[in-house]
Amino acid sequence: MNDARTQLSNEERTPCEVWTRVMGYHRPVSAFNNGKRAEHAERCYFNEQPKGSEQCREPLAA
């Protein structure tokens, strides 16, 4: 297997639009106002763990 990583310039990259569910419907994050963007950046994943184990919280990728 080849371990060489492909490097792309910014012109070759494809933009990715992130959508999230807000107030019962889906909206693109790019359409959020500054306050909602800040709230979205603070969100984190919740992983349910069996009783007695350590609870783990992972931040969302920005």
> pLDDT tens across 7-61, in order?
888 898 888 998 988 778 899 989 999 998 998 888 887 788 777 766 555 555 5
For residue 12, report the phi and psi dihedrals to the nearest 5 degrees: -90, -15
C-alpha to C-alpha distance for 18 and 36, rounded to whole angstroms? 14
Q: For residue 38, what are its two tokens? A: 């800040």
pTM over 0.85: no
Residue 14: its H or E element: none
Residue 41 · residue 62 · CB < 8 Å: yes
